Structure 1
């Protein structure tokens, strides 16, 4: 604290203004110390608030983690075809959209013969085609797999045609006929949109149209499609399958198979296996969010997210610590989070001895701690190979372990973390309480600083008044001395 610019010591020759500044500066040391304490408090408040935000993020991740153990996520299966140009396959669903889980394994398909639709070929070519008004009906007998019944659909075709192409175009425009028409080598071909013997088509003349009769379509009668067939080999057992459709839903339970080409001299293997990618991705996300919190806790404790106790002890930076180093609340938070990840779930529902801890499935945490019990890093890591092996060898056991962990993490999220970060009207959590306590300390320091600064102002004013009085006295004494000297000099000599 300095005074306004002034000239001191005019009479005394003594720079007492600088002396006052030095005295006030010395007496201001407690103010400087308290201001430094306030700066530390501000840093700690910011650190606690940031930790609260990260804990909220972790809480959301822990809540979302529970979805990993539901069947629709955990029981995902992959289906691959050895040759997708010949056969494709996928997991089937029931009428309600629920997944039907097929048995894992290899299904080898051989001797594939595609189901075919019914076709009717005209006896008239474009060379003998007669132009005019064509009027006829297409009767399509369609099999409905959902009700195991057949319905008859009749579509009327009317066209003023000058070529077989005109007739084909007219047929294709009537989509309700469920057939397709084309002209190949000057012959009209009408083909059913559905395959197999359960589906058939027929052409009937309307009003005995002679032009229609001339096409030779009505003489064909009712034409049915032909069924397809293939063999399935599973675990050494060969089963023959006959199918009216090339999309097969009922041959292998839980699989929808699409036959794309005839295969007579080779085979195609469909492989069904557990797909752990979604579970592993979810675990990785949860671990990342957890480690983000641990990194920040390390930063608050050690001043860095990665420096461990042993590394600090052997480095020149060993004396650099975080703003919350030694804080028991911070140690307790880390310890509680760690304990959930390191616990043994033996004896709980579905848990087997082989997979009773996260470490047993490849998810481990750091163990070394300092003298206060603070873990050196406390972070989690995933051995993806070990986790994949566990999910492959005994997925239900891993699922049971993760379900128990999920239950505990949900409690951790809704209980412990909520009690840490809550700012509801029902009561503040531990961290907001700590932040408020720090604010109270900050305010107390502000009051003390203000009181000290008021005292220092009074001290400066008092010293200034005292030195000013001294200057005035010395100036008066000097004036008197000068007057006396003048009087003495004025006396006559002798």
Structure 2
């Protein structure tokens, strides 16, 4: 009897004692064990998400490199940019459009274009009313009569003139002597000059006569209504700053070394950013015993090889046939270093060869070659990275589907297990009473206690 009682007590203790089973904790422990595959899938999804971000970053960096190459390949881009340099910027400056050929010119600025202007006299108060009357403004062969009432001030007359779009701008000018009405032509030169007549309200005086600029370009006389002269030199805009009738100004048009250097430097920076990121995928960190996220990605491996091979490109030209000839050297880690001085010398001595290296004879030079290589990885439909990302996305979705399926199964299992353990808990709660009953049957002469 003592053996039977001891055995029953041991069973009761193993099943939770007299307090029964903690059903919630027990079921949770079982479900946690059943979720082991799900935790592995989630870890895989984390890795896939990290790989996706890494590929997208490399894609973005490849796009930046493509943009830099596009600027070098453009027929109107930095490589064709030109700069016009004046020997006396106090007299004339100039700008040149892309593609303007190298040339030198001699310019003499005899006089600047002037703008016609008049002003009222004598000065009066800005708020004083004027004598009723009128005056005529004649410009471009057309005459307009301006009526002035006894309630008008300089400000109201100015507003009236400005509202009529006559080719004249009116302003009230105030100084220590009082206020005057100033009229200025909206265009410079002879064609913009105007006159005032038949004045019966105030007296106007001419301040300036509208005249055309006078200059010679390589001995050819030029007249311009504006101090911004276009058409005198093909592709060049002259900006007249001052008059120097007896002084020849040298104007030289040459490749814009600064813009070209900036464009090439942008390419070098974009290339270095990409190759550095790609290289980092294959660096082994001994402290953490890990390599880059994309260490085993064949597309990244291929891109690294392609980028390194691109630095060996040769145009086949007898001069400036490779990057090194342009002052761009390759470092041991595959990155590039630009020597701006050497590039400047190459541009000044043979800008056509520099352009030919990047653009080729039919946009088939270095820029097009490397761009084509990058497109095999970044093409939105068939690119290697596009295929990579699609494969990763599909794998991620498959893992999500497996997780959802497992969760549906575990939800039903939770209901079943909860019911089973609740039933077991009830049974265990009843064991002490049943134990007493068994003890009473086995030993009817024992005390009721």
| TM tier relative to shorter chain | 0.5 to 0.7
Aligned to 2:340: 384
Which of 78, 81, 86 is the matching residue for 1:76? 81
Contact residue 81 and residue 270 of structure 1 kept, 8 A? yes
Residue of structure 2 equivalent to 1:355: 320
Counterparts of residues 54-453 of structure 1 (less than 5 Å): 54-64=57-67, 65-74=69-78, 75-81=80-86, 86-91=91-96, 99=97, 101-118=99-116, 132-141=131-140, 152-160=141-149, 169=158, 173-174=162-163, 176-179=165-168, 192-203=185-196, 205=198, 211=200, 215=203, 225-232=210-217, 237-264=218-245, 269-303=250-284, 322=291, 329=298, 332-346=302-316, 352-366=317-331, 377-403=333-359, 404-416=365-377, 419-423=383-387, 428=391
SS at match of 2:319: helix
- For 1:302-361, what per-residue CA distance to the aligned partner results, in whole angstroms no more than 9, with x for missing partners? 437xxxxxxxxxxxx9xx995699979576543232112212232xxxxx3212222222
Q: Is the 8 A contact 2:51 2:293 kept in 1?
A: no
After superposition, give the CA deviation of every residue in 1:79-121 in whole Å (9 maximum; x if it has no partner): 4555555444334xxxxxxx57544445454343123345668
Separation in 1 of the partners of 2:293 and 2:169?
78
Three-state SS of the structure 2 residue aligned to 1:272 is strand
Sort the Cα spacing of 1:126 and 1:170 in 2 relative to 1 into closer, same or farther, 3 A: same
Q: 1:408 to 1:85 in 2, by over 3 A?
A: same
8 A contact 2:169–2:186 mirrored in 1: yes
Q: Output one character per residue of 1:218-237: Cα deviation in whole Å (capped at 9) or x when no partner.
A: xx9xx9743331234xxxx4
- Once the 2 structures are TM-superposed, how far is the Cα of residue 275 of structure 1 from its aligned partner? 2.2
CA distances 1:139-196 after superposition (whole Å, capped 9, x unpaired):
210xxxxxxxxxx444331113699967974775455232356889999875544443
Query: Per the alignment, do residues 398 and 109 of structure 1 end up closer, same or farther by CA in structure 2, a change over 3 Å counting?
Result: same
Contact 2:54 2:294 in 1 (8 A): no
Instruction: Judge which range, 179-188 or 379-388, deviates more.
Output: 179-188
The answer as to whether partners of 2:76 and 2:98 remain within 8 angstroms in 1 is no
Give the whole-Å Cα distance in 1 for the aligned partners of 2:242 and 2:163.
Answer: 29
CA contact (8 A) 1:126 1:164 kept: no
Residues 195, 327 of structure 1: alpha-carbon distance in 2 compared, 3 angstrom cutoff: closer
Tell me the TM-score normalized by structure 1: 0.53
* TM-score normalized by the length of structure 2: 0.58
Contact 1:73/1:278 (8 A) holds in 2:
no
What is residue 20 of structure 1 aligned with on the other side? Answer: none
Alpha carbons 1:362, 1:387 under 8 Å: kept: yes
Q: Distance in 2 between matches of 1:51 and 1:405?
A: 27
Residues 353/49 of structure 1: CA separation in 2 closer, same or farther (3 Å cut): farther
Flag the 1:290–1:247 CA change in 2: closer, same or farther, 3 A: closer
After superposition, the Cα gap between the structure-2 partners of 1:161 and 1:69, relative to the gap in structure 1 and judged at 3 Å, is farther
